[in-house]
Structure 1
Amino acid sequence: MNAEQLQKTLRASQYAEQVLGLHRELLEQDYAKDQFLESLSTEQIQQQVNEVLLDISDESMWMRLLRILRARLMFRWIWQDANQLTDVITLTRELSDFADACICAAKDFARIPLIAKHGEPIGYSGNLQDLIVIAMGKLGAQELNLSSDIDLIFAFDEQGETNGRKCIDVQQFCILWGQKIIYLLEHITADGFVFRVDMRLRPWGDGSPLAISHIAFEKYLSQHGREWERYAWIKARVVSGDEQGEELLEMTRPFVFRKYVDYTAFEAMREMKAMIEREVARRNIADDIKLGAGGIREVEFIVQVFQLIYGGSKLELQDRQCLISLKHLGEVGLLDQQAVEDLEDAYLFLRRVEHAIQALNDQQTQSLPTEDDLRQRIVDTLGFDSWQKFLDVLNEKRTKVTFQFEHLIKEKGLDSPTESFSQLEKQLDEVLDDGAKNLIHEFWHGHAIKKLPAKAVQRLKEFWPHLIEAILQSDKPQIALLRLMPLVESVMRRTVYLVMLIESKGALQRLVKMATVSPWICEELTHYPVLLDEFLSMDFELPKRQDLEDSLRQQLLRIEIDQVEDQMRVLRLFKKSNVLAVAASDVLAESPLMKVSDALTDIAEVSVKATLHLAYQMIAKKNGYPLDANGQRCSLDHMAFAVVGYGKVGGIELGYGSDLDLVFIHYMDEQADTDGAKAISGFEFAMRVAQKFMSLMTTQTLDGRVYEIDTRLRPSGEAGLLVTSLKAFEQYQLKSAWVWEHQALVRARSIAGEQTLRDTFESLRCRILTLPRDEETVRQEVLNMRQKMKDHLGSSKEQKKHGIFHLKQDAGGIVDIEFMAQYVVLAWSGTNPDLAHYSDNVRILEDAKKAGCLSSDDVSALIQAYLSERAESHRLALANHNMQVNAMDWHDTREVVCKLWQRLIDPTATFALESE
C-alpha cells in the first residue's frame, strides 16, 4: 500500500487501524486490485456481495463473511475520503448501493428456512406474495453516510396464507421474514455488524406490526397520515419488491405531493421549523453539524419544504436527492441562484465533516469531538492548519444556512395587509351601498358563523382583512364583494381554501379580478370549491392538448374499471378545472379568441376520447369483444367505433357553455356474438357502448356533468338508432338526408375512436359534400332553413322595436355567417373539392377566397365580423348574460354581413334596423 496514503487513512480513523490489524492480508489484496483508487459501480458492489456469500448456507458463516466485507469496504471508503480520492456524492451512492445489496442478500437468505417450515405465502388472489422493502431517509435518497443506520419499511401486496404443513397467514410470514432480515444485518457479533436497522417510520411506529398489506397501508395514509410522514416519504425508494413495491410507492405519491401548490403544508412546516428551532435552543447541540443551527438537517428541511408545497405542480421537485432538488429549486425560481450555491456548498462541506467525524470510530454521531487529539485528526483529514481555522469556515457556511432557514416560510400575521384592519373597513364602508353593508353585517352575525368551529372562525377572521384589501384594489369593489361572498360562505368550513388565499396574495388578487369580470367563474368556484386548487396554481397559459391527454390518462389509470363513481368524478373535475383555466387565461392573459376556442375544443375531445375508452372497456369486460365487418376481433386498440362531432365541437368553435352535438358510428358485425361469457350481438354491443358513454358524460352528480350532449343530428334524428353502422350512415346520407343535414355535415369531424374508421368517415364526408348540386336549389333550401330559425329563435318584433339584436340568431348575426359558409361548401365544392376539406368557418371562408369564389375584401370583412361577434358571445357567457345586445352598437358589423347575405343567398333581403 502507498505509505503516505495509508498514514493519512490511519490518521483519519482509529476504526481503520482496527480493521487493518484484523484484515491486513485481505486489504492488501483489495489494494492490489486498484479498488482503493477507483469508484465502484452498483453492479460491482452487488457482485462483491454475491461472491462473498456464494453457496453459504450456514447462518453464522454468512453473517461473518458479510461483516468482514463491510469492514474491508469501510476501510476503502475511509482511505478514499481521507486522501480525497472520492467526493461526497460518489461516496454516499456507493454506501447506499452496498446497503441495498446487503438487504437483498439478507432477504434471500432469510426466506429459505421460512419456506421450508411454512411453505410459500399465497395471496387471496392466488398470487405468490413477496416482501416489499422500502428504504427511507438517507438510504432512500441514496445519500447514506459512513456510519449511518438504515430506515426501512416492510410491506406486502395482499393477505392470504402459506401453503406448507405449518400454515400461517401472509402477514405473520412477512413479519418473521422482516425480523430475520433485521437480525442478519444488525446483530453484533465478534466481527461487528453490517447496518443498524430503524423501523420506526412504519405506520403507527414502534409497537405496530412489522409488515402490513398494501390496502392497510393505503388506508393508514388516507385516514391517519400526518404532515411529518409526508415529509419522510419524499425520500422513499423501493429496494426490493419490484412491481408490487413500485405500485405501493406510486400509491403514496398523491399523499406526499398534492396535485396543486399545497398551501396547507405551510402551517405544518412552520410548526416543524419552530420545533427544530426550539430543539436547537433547548439542547446544547451547537457542536452537532447535523442537528445544530445551520446544520445538515436545516439544508434538507429547506429543500423538502419546497418539495412538499410545490412538488405536486412542479414534478421536477419530486427527486429524492437533496442536491438535485436544490438545483431544480433554482431552475424554477423558488430560490435565487446565490442561495442555491450557498446551500449546496454548505451541504457538501457539512457532509464531508460528518464523514470525518464518523470515520474516527465508526460511530453514528455528528457531534464535533472535544478531545484535542480527535480534533487534530479531523483538522488533518480536512486539510486545515488549525481547529480555529476549521471552525471559522464551518461557522461561515452554517451562518449562510441559518439565514436561509430563518427566512423560510415566515409566518403571515394579521398585520400583513398594508393598512390596519379598521382603516380597511372604513375605506370599504365608503365604497359600498347600504345593501352591501347589510350583507356583510348579516354574514358576520348569522347562524352560519355561530355554527362554525372556533378554529374555522379564527381562520376566517385572519382571511377577512386580506380579502378587503384585495377588493379595495379592484376597479369594481362592490361587484367583487357581492360575487365573492357566496364563495367565502361555501369554503369557510373548509379552511384549507382560506389558508391558500392567505398564503398566496397574487392568487387572491387574481380571484378578485376574475370576480369583477365573470360571475360565471365565481359561481363555478362556489359550487365546486375543489376547483380553487386548480385556480390558485394556474400559470394562465392555455392548456396544451398533449398535457391534457397525459393528465387525464394518469388520473384514470389510478382507478379500477368498475369504480364508476370515481371515474365520473375525475372526468367532471378534469373538464371543469381546465375550462376554468381557459377562462382565466381568456380574462387575465387576454388570449386570442381562436386559441381559446381551440383549447375548449381540445378539452372536449380529450374528454370524449377518454370516456369512449372507458365505456368500451366496461362493456367488453362484461360481454367480451365483438367482431368487425371483416371478421377481426374488436379489441381496445381496434374498437371499430367512432364518435363524430357536429356543430361547435366539429367546427372547433366551442364556447364556455356549449353542449356537444355527437353522432356514433361503427363497423362491427351486428349479427356476430361477442366472445365473452355473457355474449351479446355486435349490434347490442355498439348500442351499449353508446349508452354507457352517454351515462358517463351526462349523469348529474354532486360534481355536475361533463357535458350536455345532443344526438339529434344522427340519421333520422330522435326517431333513429343511437348508433349507426358506417354502411347505414352512408346510405342515409346519399339517399335520404335533407339538404339541412348536409349543411350540418359541413361542420362534422371525427373526434374519437378507431383511426381507420375515422379516416373512412372523413373520406365519406368529403364525397357527400362534393356531390354535384343545383346551386339554386341549395340557395333556396338554405334560405328556408334560415328563416325557420329566425322565426323560432330570433328576437321578437317587440324586442327589435326596442333596439335589441340577438347576436347569434338575428339578421347579420353569427348564424348568418355560418349558413353562408355552409352554402359555399354545398353549392361550389362539386367543382372546387378543397372547399369541403375543413369544418370550421374561418378556414372554409379562406378557402373560398383561394378558389376565387369570394373576393378577398368580402372574406376579410366576413371573418372580422364573425370573430367580433364570437368574441362578444364569449364575453357574454362569462358574464352570465344572454345573447341579446344593443343593436346600434353592432350596426356596422351587421351591415357587412347582411349585404353579403343579400348578394349570396337572398337578393330580396333588405338591411334596415327595425328601431331606425
Structure 2
Amino acid sequence: MLSQLIKKLPPLIQPCAALNVEKCSGSLEPLSDSETGLQQALIRVLAGSDYVADQLSRHPRLLNDLSDSGDLFSAYPANAYQQRLERRLAGVDSEEQLHSVLRQFRQREMVRIIWRDLTRTTDMRGTTADLSALADACIDQALTWLYNDCCSKWGTPHSTPSEGSPAQPQKLVVLGMGKLGAYELNLSSDIDLIFAYPEKGMTEGGRRVLANQDFFSRLGQKLIQALDSITADGFVFRTDMRLRPYGASGPLVCSFPAMEEYYQNQGRDWERYAMIKARVVGGDQCAGAELLQMLRPFVYRKYIDFSAFDSLRSMKEMINKEVRRKGLHGNVKLGAGGIREVEFVAQAFQLIRGGRDPRLQQRELLNILPLLPETVGIPETAANELIEAYTFLRNTEHAIQAVADRQTQELPIDQVGQARIAYSMGFDRWDSFLVELERQRDRVTRHFADVIAPTEAAPHNAAQASDWLQLWNSEFDEEEGESFFARHGLDDPQQAWKAFNNLKTSRSVQVMQAVGYQRLQAVLPKLMDEVVAVDNSAETLEWVLLLIQAVIRRSSYLVLLAENPGAMRQLVRLCSASAWFSETLARQPVLLDELIDQRSLYSPPSKEALQSDLRQQLLRIPQEDEEQLMDTLRYFKSAHVLIVAASDITGVLPLMKVSDYLTWLAEVILEEVLEIAWRQLTEKHGVPLKASGVPCDPDFIIVGYGKLGGIELSYGSDLDLVFVHDADASLFTPGHKPIANSVFFTRLGQKIIHILNTFTTGGHLYEVDMRLRPSGNSGLLVSSLKAFSEYQQKEAWTWEHQALVRARVIAGSESLRERFEQVRAEILSQPREQGELTGEVVKMREKMREHLGTAEKDAQALFNLKQDRGGIVDIEFIVQYSALAYSHRYPQLIEYTDNIRILDAMEQVGVIPADDAETLREAYKKYRSVGHRQVLQNRSGPVSPDELEDCREAVIRIWNSQLNC
C-alpha cells in the first residue's frame, strides 16, 4: 500500500520518499488497509521530513503511540506540555537523567508537531503556538528541577533583610525573547533567553553560602547545559544568551535594579526592538511581570517616537549587507520581501505609537497587523496582504526546516529539495511555487518601502537647501542675516533673522547631541521652503521655530516632520494662520501626531463617535490607574481641540459648528469623568441609597451654566458647573467603609473637580468655576434638588435666574435630569413684575460695564467685545430678560439654552420684531467669530470699534427698545 502511495507523488520526490519509508519500515508496525488516511499522511510526512523518518526508525513504537493516543489528530489543551513533562520528570534523580528525559520528550513532540504541520492538521499559528508551548515547558520544568537541586546543595537564595522587611526567598526569572517571546517559534528555532533575579542577597540553609549572583549564575549555566548540550539523544533547544545586557561580555544573570539601570542608561535602539517580544517563559512569573513593567518605559515611549524608523532602517541595512555578503538572496527570512521585513513593519508602529496606544503593546505579529488600519491608518488591504504573505513565508520556512530539523531559511538549490518544498507547500511544481513566493515577497517589499524605506522628499531645490544650511552653519551678523532673508523673499527680514538667530544661539541647540543636531539640519531646509511660501512668512517662521525649540530635547519629533512632509506642510499652514496653534503644539508636542492623517485632521467626529472613541481608549486602561486615566482624558481633549481648530482655521467648519464640537467634547469628557469618580467612590464606600433599600442610579447630575450650558464653548473656555443630587442625605452607604450620603456626594463632587482641574504633564482638562451654585462660594459643593429648588424660589437674585436660563444637565441620572428641568421651568416661568425686572437687569448690566468694560477715557479707541455697551453681554441680557419676562406666557422661550434658538423663539412669539431678532443673531455670531479669531491669533483685550460700529449701534438701539432704556 505504501509503495502504491509513493507512486502518486511527483516523480522527483518518489526516490526520497521511498528511501525514508525503507529507513523506518523495519521499525513501523504494519498499517492495516483501514488505516488508509494514516498511510497517506505518513507518505506526505516522509516525503517532506528526513527528521521524522530518523525518529521513527529509532523509536519503533513512536508512530503507534502518537496515533493510538490521538495526539496526532487533536490539539493539546492549555498546559498540556507542562503537565506531561512534569510527570516524566517526577522520578528523575540526576542531571544526566534530566538531560535524557528532556531530549526524548522533545523528540516525540517534534514528530507530532511536524506531522500536524505538513499534513495541515493545524495551521501555521497552531504550529508556532505548539513549538512555543513546548519550549516553555522544557525551560520551566528543567529550571524547577535544577533550582530545587541547587538549593539542596547551596541553600535557597534570599533577599537582603531590612528594617520592617525580612529576607524573602528568590527565584530566577527567565525572559524569552524574539520568536519564543511572541509565541512564534519555528520548527528549528534557537531560543533567545535573558536571566534575571529580583535583588542581591545570600543563600540560606545549604551546605555552603553563596551570593545570589553566584547561585543564579551557576543555575543559569546548568539550565543552558540542560537545553543546549548535544548528547546521544540530541539537544532540546539551541540557546542564545547574547541579547542580555552587555551581550556576550556581560554577566550571565543580572539583578532587577541592574537590568533597569542598564536599559535606562545604555539601552540601544535594537534592544527596544528586541524587548517588544520579551515574555516570562520560566521561573517566578510574578517577579517577572514586575520586571517587564519596570522595563516598559524603555520600550514604549509616552510620546510618538518616529526615531524608530531610522533605527529600523539601520538594522535593515545591516541585514542587507549581510545578505549580500553571504549571498542570502534565497533566504525567506532575511532576503528582500522576507519575514523580517513584515516584522519590521509591525514593530516600527509598535515602537512609534505603542506608548500611547496599549493595543499595540502585544508580542505576536499576527495580533498586531490587523490593528494597523485602525491604529495607524495603513490601508486595510495592505494589512491583509501582509498577513497573507507572512503566513505563506512562515509555512515555507517550516517546510524548509522540517526536512532535517536544521536552523535554515534558505530555499534549496537542488531539484529534489525544491520539489520537496513545493510538494509540502501544496504545489505540483517548483515553478508554480516560486511564482506565488515571488508574488508574496513583492507585496512585502512594496509595503515595507511604504512604511520603513526612506521617504521621497518633496520636490526640493538642492541649491536652496544648501543656502539654508549655509545660513545655519555660518557666523552671519545681523545685517548679513537680514539681507539673506530679504533675498529669499521673507516679508519681514528683521523679524525673520531675529527668530532664526534666537534658535541658532539658544542653549537648547548648543547642548544638542550629535544625532539630534543631524536631525535638526535635515528638517530645517524643508521647513524653511514651506515657510517662505506663505504670505506672513516672517511671523510664521517665528511661531514655527518656537515649536522647534520646544521639541529639540526630544528630537524624535523632528524625525516625525522629516518622515511626513504632509504633516510639515500642514504645520506651517496652520501656524501661519494661528499663533495659538503653534503655542499649543509647543506646550504639547505629542499632538504633532495628529497632523499626519489629514482625513481626520479636517473631519471632526460626531458626538456619538467621540463617545465611542473615548470609551474604547479608557477601556484599555486599568481602572485603578488614575494617573493614566487622567493622561488619556487630557490627550483626548487636546487632540480633538486641535482637530476642531484646524477645521476652524481652514474654514471647514463655521463658527456655530466649532462651538458645537467643543461643547460635545466637554460633554463627553464630563460623562466619563463622572463615571470614573462614581466607580472609584462606590468601590470604596458602596452605592449610596436614594431611600431605605433603594440604591441611587446615581441620582446625581452635573449641570452646565454659561457657555457650556448655552452650547457656545470656545478654545480655553472654563466650565461653569453645579452639582445636584436627589438622595436622602441622612442615609449611609452600605460598603466596607460606610459614609453618609451627604459626605459621599460631596466627595463625588470633589473627585470630579480633582480630575478636571489637576495639572499633569498633559496640562489640565478644564478650569472649573463653581460660583453659580446656591449661595456661591459659601454654599455647599453639592446641593440636593430640594435645597436647590428652595434656594431658587426664596433666596436667588435676579441675576441667578438669568444664569438659570442657560443651565442644562450635561451628565448623570436621566430621571433626575427630568426633575431638574421641571424645577428650572417652574422657576423661570414665574410671573414677574416687569418694571422691577427691568430695573434689576439694567442695574446689574451697568454694574458689570463699570467693573469689566473699557474705561471711559479709552472708549473712543477701544471696544471690549464682551462687556462694553452694544457687546455680547448686552445681547445675552436681552435674551435672558425676555425669557424671564415672558416665559410664563410663552414657554418656548425657555425650551432651549442657547442664545440663537432663544432669539428664534422670541421672534416666533412676537416679543421682538423679526428684523431686530435677525440683527441680534448676526451681531452675536459676528462678535463670537471675532472673538474666536482673537484666541487663535493669541490676541486678547479690546478691538478697534470701527470694524464693528454698525453691529454695536444696532445692539444698543435694540437694548434701549427692549428694556425701555
TM-score normalised by the chain length of structure 2: 0.76
**Residues 366-445 of structure 1 correspond to what in structure 2 (within 5 A)?**
366-368=409-411, 377-378=420-421, 381=424, 409-411=452-454, 417-418=460-461, 420-421=463-464, 429-439=488-498, 442-443=501-502
Aligned to 1:232, which of 274, 278, 282? 274
Query: For 1:140, which of 174, 181, 184 is the aligned residue?
Result: 181
2:711 to 642, 647, 652: 652
In structure 1, what is the Cα distance between the partners aligned to 2:896 and 2:373?
46
On the 8 A contact 2:746/2:781 being kept in 1, the answer is yes
Query: CA 1:447–1:234 in 2, change beyond 3 Å: closer, same or farther?
Result: closer
Count matched residues: 896
Shift in Å, 1:196: 3.7
**Per-residue deviation, 1:148:** 1.6
CA contact (8 A) 1:313 1:537 kept: no
- The equivalent position to 1:281 in structure 2, one of 313, 316, 324, is 324
Distance 1:716 1:405 in 2: 64
Match of 2:566 among 466, 488, 506: 506
Shift of 1:49: 6.0
Q: C-alpha deviations, 1:599-621, integer Å up to 9, x for none?
A: 43355456667777888999999
Q: Does 1:590 align with 2:665?
A: no
SS of the equivalent of 1:661 reads strand
How do residues 85-234 of structure 1 correspond to structure 2 at under 5 angstroms?
87-100=123-136, 135-152=176-193, 186=228, 190-203=232-245, 205=247, 207-208=250-251, 210=253, 213=256, 221-234=263-276
Shift of the 890–449 alpha-carbon distance from structure 1 to 2, 3 Å rule, reads closer
User: For residue 907 of structure 1, what is the amino acid of its counterpart?
Assistant: N
CA, structure 1 residues 825+115, in 2 after alignment: closer, same or farther (shift >3 Å)? Answer: farther
Matched residue, 2:396: 353
Measure the CA separation in 2 of the matches of 1:91 and 1:168: 42
Of 464, 468, 472, the match for 2:532: 472
Q: Which residue of 2 aligns with 1:15?
A: 51
Q: Aligned letter for 1:747?
A: R
What letter is aligned with 1:821? V
Q: Taking structure 1 as reference, are residues 397 and 810 closer, same or farther at Cα in structure 2, changes over 3 Å only?
A: closer
Q: Tell me the secondary structure at the aligned position of residue 139 of structure 1.
A: helix
CA distance, structure 2, for counterparts of residue 753 and residue 121 of structure 1: 53
Q: 1:57 aligns with which of 51, 69, 90?
A: 90
Match for residue 111 of structure 2 among 45, 70, 75:
75
Deviations 1:723-763 (A, max 9, x none): 65665544432221111111112223455678887776555
* Alignment match, 1:906: 963
**Residues 338 and 444, structure 2, Cα contact 8 Å, conserved in 1:** yes
Q: Is the 8 A contact 1:53 1:66 kept in 2?
A: no
SS at match of 1:431: coil
The one-letter code sitting in structure 1 at the alignment partner of 2:75 is S
> Of 268, 275, 282, which aligns to 2:311?
268
Counterpart position of 1:31: 67
Alpha-carbon distance in structure 2 between the residues aligned to 1:266 and 1:103: 34
Match of 1:593, as an amino acid? L
Tell whether the 8 Å contact from 2:195 to 2:252 is kept in structure 1 after alignment.
Answer: no
Matches within 5 A, 1:613-762: 644-663=703-722, 706-720=765-779, 728-751=787-810, 761=820
**2-structure distance, mates of 1:735, 1:126:** 68
Counterpart of 1:793 in structure 2 is: 852
Cα displacement (A) at 1:94 = 3.6
| 2:941 is the counterpart of 1:876 | no
Task: Deviation per CA, 1:27-64: give whole Å up to 9, x if none.
Answer: 1243356654x4x4352x74476357548621267776
Q: 1:128 to 1:606 in 2, by over 3 A?
A: farther
Matches of 1:745 and 1:450, distance apart in 2? 54
Bigger mean CA offset, 685-694 vs 358-367? 685-694
| 2-structure distance, mates of 1:314, 1:626 | 32
Query: Residues 506 and 902 from structure 1, CA distance in 2 versus in 1: closer, same or farther, beyond 3 angstroms?
Result: same
Tell me the equivalent position of 2:16: none
Match of 1:913 in 2: none
1:857–1:113 distance in 2 versus 1, CA, 3 Å: farther
Alpha carbons 1:770, 1:830 under 8 Å: kept: yes
Aligned-residue Cα RMSD (Å) equals 5.3
Mapped contact 1:53–1:62 kept (Cα < 8 A): no
Displacement after TM superposition at 1:228 (Å) = 1.6
Residue 300 of structure 1 aligns with which residue? 343
SS of the residue corresponding to residue 662 of structure 1 reads strand
Q: CA deviation at 1:326?
A: 4.7
8 A Cα contact 1:515 1:521, kept in partner: yes
Alignment CA distance shift 1:138-1:447 (3 Å): closer
Deviates more, 1:309-318 or 1:575-584: 309-318
Q: Distance in 2 between matches of 1:743 and 1:164?
A: 80
Letter in 2 for 1:136: M
Cα displacement (A) at 1:689: 7.3
Match of 1:299, SS state, is: helix
Q: Residue 914 of structure 1 aligns with which residue?
A: none
| Superimposed CA distance per residue, residues 238-282 of structure 1 (whole angstroms, 9 cap, x where no aligned partner) | 667778766766776665454565322122122212221222233
The more displaced of 729-738 and 522-531 is: 522-531
Deviation for aligned residue 1:854: 6.7
- CA drift of 1:469 comes to 0.6
- Cα distance in 2 between the residues matched to 1:375 and 1:220: 46
CA distance in 1 between partners of 2:733 and 2:391 (Å): 64
The one of 853, 865, 876 aligned to 1:818 = 876
5+ residue gaps, structure 1, are: 909-916
CA distance in 1, matches of 2:203, 2:668: 46
For residue 70 of structure 1, report the CA deviation from its aligned partner: 3.6
What is the CA–CA distance in structure 1 between the aligned matches of 2:690 and 2:379, rounded to whole Å? 63
Aligned residue identity for 2:67 = Y
Q: In structure 2, how many angstroms separate the alpha carbons of the residues matched to 1:681 and 1:525?
A: 45
- Give secondary structure in 2 for the equivalent of 1:590: coil
| Residue among 546, 549, 559 paired with 2:611 | 546
Higher mean C-alpha displacement, 425-434 vs 512-521? 425-434
Return the TM-score normalized by structure 1: 0.79
Matched AA of 1:17: A
Query: Which runs of no fewer than 5 residues in structure 2 stay unpaired?
Result: 1-30, 32-37, 469-483
Post-superposition CA distance 1:141-187 (Å, at most 9, x none): 33322122334456788999999899999999988887777666556
How far apart, in 1, do the equivalents of 2:196 and 2:900 lie?
Answer: 59
- The answer on whether the counterparts of 2:732 and 2:740 sit within 8 Å (CA) in structure 1 is yes
Q: 1:766 to 1:203 in 2, by over 3 A?
A: farther
How far apart are 1:827 and its partner, in Å? 3.1
Residues 261, 537 of structure 1: 8 Å contact kept: no
Deviations 1:687-717 (A, max 9, x none): 7876787677657788765544434333333
Displacement of 1:568 in angstroms is 8.0
